[in-house]
Each structure stands twice: as structure tokens, then as C-alpha cells.
Structure 1
Amino acid sequence: MIRSILSLILCLSAFTLHAEDKGDGKLRIIVFGAHPDDAEYKTAGTAVKWARQGHHVKLVSVTNGDIGHWKEAGGPLALRRAAEVAACAKKLGVTSQVLDIHDGELMPSLENRKLITRVIREWKADIVIAHRPWDYHPDHRYVGVLLQDAAFMVTVPFIVPDVPPLKKNPVFLYSSDGFQKPYPFTPDIAVSVDDSFEQKLDGIHELTSQAYEGGASGSAEYVEKEVPPASDETARRAWLKRRWGARQSSEAEKYRALLIKLYGEEKGSAVKYAETFEVCEYGRRPSPAEIRQLFPFYGEK
């Protein structure tokens, strides 16, 4: 019953998306994460910046996250996590969607290749972002594989023929990670999220099962000893900011040279928080000028 309700929620969400105006000249960006938190963690700061300029951003969870907690599982957890990312998306000013695939069971199958192709086409994406296909989690890896497969198929007319193919191949990008083999993440794009970091925290704050309870790797001891209680909103928010501030500032420092290249010496040197992306060669390969069009933030004051 719970699974049926979740399916109905997702179908209604998809219906709403189809009704949107897709011809307003704004960019259309879609981000795929393996679970209901991945796309938000990796790209929320940049998503906010796009959304503020009126561009359309959708954050997609490819699995429903139904085993992603140390204490809860199944349909109730899937519903909880779908509600969390919906609340997060509202804070970010973007759209969310959760695909009804079991957490931990994603496979790079023909069925899922068609599904991802369909979702990208329906959004009429200009930019597609996902994990690299090298990661500790099989769901993360297979999202990357499916991204690579779709990077060609979205323009092929006779696969998923009921949805019109894209006339122009999107730019496909990988979100950042720290894995070194077979080769380390090598960004082509770095975005300052200094002016959207607090709003990113507002969104992540809604992902309670993951941000504060530790998800599948959490425990009662972790929640009790490490995380401020839910009753102390100020302490909780400060705790979250310390954790994410360290992550985003580390990314800025690691790729400082790229920030300076894109923003100039003065502004690039001053960036505190950053999100970074690598071009997937299987999609369209943007020129430096096109990157500045797709990421229209570098001239901001």
C-alpha cells in the first residue's frame, strides 16, 4: 500500500513537470543522484544560483532510499525521504523527483537506460549532472554508467520513441568526488557558492534522516553523542554549517587555480566555498565560452 502511494506521488509529480512551460529560453538543468540526498549534497549551491536567475533545475534521486537508514527501512523510509527532498527543493527553489527503484538494487540495465533517457528528454535538458562511474557505492557507480549510456541515446530517435529525442546533445557533467582510480576527479568548472551557501544549508537541513541521523551509517550513539538535539535549532544549524563549511571550503582550496582562472585573480582568490564539475566527454564538449554561458555566474559582482 505504501509503495502504491509513493508511486502515485511520483506520477503526480511527473504530471506537474509535463505541464510546465519549457519554451521560455532559460537553461534546463537536471542532476541525478543515486539516493535522496546525493544530488542535493553535490550541487545545491550551484542549483540555487541557476534558480535565482530563472533557470529550471530538477534534482532526481534514481533510487528511493528505502534502506538508507540504520533504524528504518522499506516503504515508510522511502516516503520519509521523498518528503525530505521535496522540502529541500522548496528551500532551494528547484524541483525534485524520486524514481521508484529500491535502494541498493540499481542496475545498469536496458530498462534503466531507457528510463534515464526518458527523464532527460522530458526535462529537455541543456545540462545533465551525475556521479562519476567510480565510487564506493554500487548505486553511485551505476548512475554514472547510466549517465554515460544516455549521453548518446538522448538524441537517437528510435529508442524510447514515444518521447521526442533531443535535437542537441546536452553537456554531461560529473559531480566531484575524492576517488583516485582509475583517475582522479579533474574539474573543468568551479563555481563559487559563497552567496548561496546559507540557502544550501537551509535545504540540507530538511534532510533530517541523513544530515542529522547519519543515514545507513548512523546509530543511536552517533545521534546522541555527536548531533545537537532537534530541540536546539541554533546549535543544530551551527553544527551543520561547520561540517559543510569544511567540505565546501576544502573544495575551494583544492581547486583554487581553476577558480582564479574562471573568476580572475582577485575574486577567485577570495572564494570561500565552491562546487566543481568535470565534463563527461560522451556528451557535447563545451568551449570555454559556452561554459560561461551555461554557468552565467562569473561576471556577477
Structure 2
Amino acid sequence: MAVVAFAGGAQQGFAQSSESSEAPKLRIICFGAHPDDAEYKSGGTAAMWAQQGHHVKLVSVTNGDIGHWSQAGGPLARRRTAESAEVARRLGVTSEVLDIHDGELIPTLENRRKITRLIRQWDADIVIAHRPWDYHPDHRYTGVLVQDAAYMVTVPYFCPNTPPLKKNPVFLYSSDRFQKPYPFEADIAVGIDDVFEKKVNALTALVSQTFEGGALGSADEMAEAPPESKPQLRYEWLRQRWDRRQSGEAKNYRAALIRWYGEDRADDIKYAEAFEICEYGRQPSDEEIRQLFPFFPKE
């Protein structure tokens, strides 16, 4: 399966950038189950990291090969890989799509090793994934696999051919609306107003999902979207949908925005993405969170 490669060597901890000896450059890896999930959940924050020169990788754990109502198999997997790569290019990040069939992800030992190696190879400071409670089995098992890696990434003789991390990353869950066994709790909320337009523009590249309806779409639903010949109408159409989604995130997690931005600045934030700290990885202090999210205002 096609991979967009990122040029850059692994370094430990908050690695010093080869371009600059002044500021550490973070390494963030975001896992989604399909070639759209990480983009949807973390695309705005990814763009903000990238704008500051930090290194972000979006990984789809399956190839999305049944994620369309009228297409499937290898041609769809290749199409969605290309869409994901274009989103990453527009956001200023990199992407990879694993060659695992959509709808068939299982938390096997082989897949645990695969996820562990990816985190080690990226030398991640931050790892983001679904929570392991979700309507879609691929989402759930992506969460399980990343959770399972939260300890194993530092164990020397697990996947011994890939050097273990010397420092456990901070593992984060992306937001969702599921209530059982417990609801998502926003430990961190990021105002993405400055990159909202960039995120929407990037997501227009996910044509199979955004304008054609994905797995549960139809010819009638596809006809409701503006045609490909009118890209500005397409952008505005999609922007309306993401305006509701990201403004809802800012409203629902206002308390977390206030915590990190202060009440006055939080009141001015219209769009947000939110994250919950997984208790299995490193537990960061408030000071460290501000280092990991360097676009937060200084106290």
C-alpha cells in the first residue's frame, strides 16, 4: 500500500531539531482506523504543530477498502490512500496507510508489534488514537492496539529489532460522544480557529467520504453535494458541516479551553479539538502539557 514518506531521523525524548539547536521539535503520531479518522479528529491540531516545525504523522490502521457504497477492494484502497496523502500534504504533515482490510482489524500479537514499531520508529513524544469504546470494531481495536503499545514501546525485548523508546510517550484519546463504559473527558482542548479554513480545505481532498458518502452513502446522497466542477461551492458546503462540528467541540469542552487559555481567551475561541490523557502512558504535568502543546498561551 502506498506510503507518503517523511524524511527525518529518530531522536529520543523532546528531540532537538537538526534545523535548529534553539528549540526542541516534537514528534507526534496520530492513529485512526481508516483513511479519514485521524484527519477528522486531529487535523487542526496537527496543522498547528506542523506550522511550528514539529513533525506529525497520520496513520490509518486499515486501508479503507470497503469504505464506499459503490466501490471496494484494491482500487478503493488506493484511492483512499491517495486522498489521505493529499490531506497530509495540505496540512503540512505526513501519512501512512497500513495494508489491513477495512472491517477486519483484530488486536493480534502481529498487529501489536506493528503498532509498537511504528511508534518507536517515529520516536513519538505524543501518540493519539481512538478510545477503545466505539461503534466501529476497527475504531475499538485501533484503541486497544495503541493502548497495548503504551507499555510495550519501552520494553527492550519486545520487537527487539526496533530499538525501544527511552521515554514513554504521552498517549491521548481523540474525542467521541459515546457514554459507556464512561464518557470522553477532555483533559486538553485546542483552539483551532487559526487553522480551521486549512483543515476544511484539506478535508475536501477526502472526496470518497465527504462528497460521496463513504460506506453508508447512496446515489441520492451523492447528488446532494455540489459537483466536482464547482470547487468553491464544495468548500462552502463542507465548511458548513465542519463549522457545526468544531464549534460544537468548543462548546462542549469549554471548561478545558478555559483551563489552558484562560477565561477571556477561551471565550473568543470558536473551533476546537479535544483530547483525553490515557492513564497507561506517561502522565504529564501541566508544565509538560504546555511544552507538548506549545501554541497554548504562556501562564
TM-score, L = length of structure 1: 0.93
User: Equivalent pairs: percent with the same residue?
Assistant: 67
Q: Would the aligned equivalents of 2:64 and 2:76 in 1 still touch at CA under 8 Å? A: yes
**What does residue 242 of structure 2 align with?**
244
- Give distance in 2, aligned partners of 1:220 and 1:78: 20
- Give distance in 1, aligned partners of 2:147 and 2:269: 31
- Give distance in 1, aligned partners of 2:256 and 2:98: 35
**What does residue 38 of structure 1 align with?**
37
Matches within 5 A, 1:102-251: 102-224=101-223, 226-251=224-249
Helix, strand or coil at the partner of 1:196:
helix
Give the C-alpha shift of residue 165 in structure 1: 0.1
CA distances 1:94-114 after superposition (whole Å, capped 9, x unpaired):
000000000000000000000
Q: Would the aligned equivalents of 2:150 and 2:281 in 1 still touch at CA under 8 Å? A: yes
Helix, strand or coil at the partner of 1:32:
strand
**What does residue 266 of structure 2 align with?**
268
**What does residue 21 of structure 1 align with?**
9
Match for 2:100: what amino acid? Answer: I
- Give distance in 2, aligned partners of 1:271 and 1:156: 41
CA distances 1:174-199 after superposition (whole Å, capped 9, x unpaired):
00000000000001000000001011
Give the C-alpha shift of residue 119 in structure 1: 0.4
- Give distance in 2, aligned partners of 1:32 and 1:233: 29
- Give distance in 2, aligned partners of 1:56 and 1:203: 18
Match for 1:220: what amino acid? Answer: A
Helix, strand or coil at the partner of 2:168:
coil
Match for 2:168: what amino acid? Answer: N
**What does residue 284 of structure 1 align with?**
282
Q: Would the aligned equivalents of 2:84 and 2:206 in 1 still touch at CA under 8 Å? A: yes
**What does residue 14 of structure 2 align with?**
none
For the aligned residue pairs, the C-alpha RMSD in angstroms reads 1.0
- Give distance in 2, aligned partners of 1:49 and 1:188: 18
- Give distance in 2, aligned partners of 1:154 and 1:261: 31
Give the C-alpha shift of residue 22 in structure 1: 3.3
Q: Would the aligned equivalents of 2:249 and 2:272 in 1 still touch at CA under 8 Å? A: yes
Match for 1:275: what amino acid? Answer: E
Match for 1:298: what amino acid? Answer: F
Give the C-alpha shift of residue 123 in structure 1: 0.3
- Give distance in 1, aligned partners of 2:255 and 2:122: 34
Give the C-alpha shift of residue 229 in structure 1: 1.3
CA distances 1:208-230 after superposition (whole Å, capped 9, x unpaired):
00011110011001011x21111
Q: Would the aligned equivalents of 2:190 and 2:273 in 1 still touch at CA under 8 Å? A: yes
**What does residue 3 of structure 1 align with?**
none
**What does residue 257 of structure 2 align with?**
259
Any runs of at least 4 consecutive aligned residues in structure 1 with deviations exceeding 4 A, and if so which? none
Match for 2:38: what amino acid? Answer: A
Matches within 5 A, 1:73-92: 73-92=72-91
**What does residue 21 of structure 2 align with?**
none
**What does residue 66 of structure 1 align with?**
65
Give the C-alpha shift of residue 297 in structure 1: 1.1
Give the C-alpha shift of residue 265 in structure 1: 1.4
Helix, strand or coil at the partner of 2:194:
coil
Give the C-alpha shift of residue 21 in structure 1: 3.1
- Give distance in 1, aligned partners of 2:296 and 2:30: 21
- Give distance in 1, aligned partners of 2:246 and 2:129: 18
Q: Would the aligned equivalents of 2:260 and 2:297 in 1 still touch at CA under 8 Å? A: no
Aligned length: 287
Give the C-alpha shift of residue 275 in structure 1: 0.1
Give the C-alpha shift of residue 238 in structure 1: 0.7
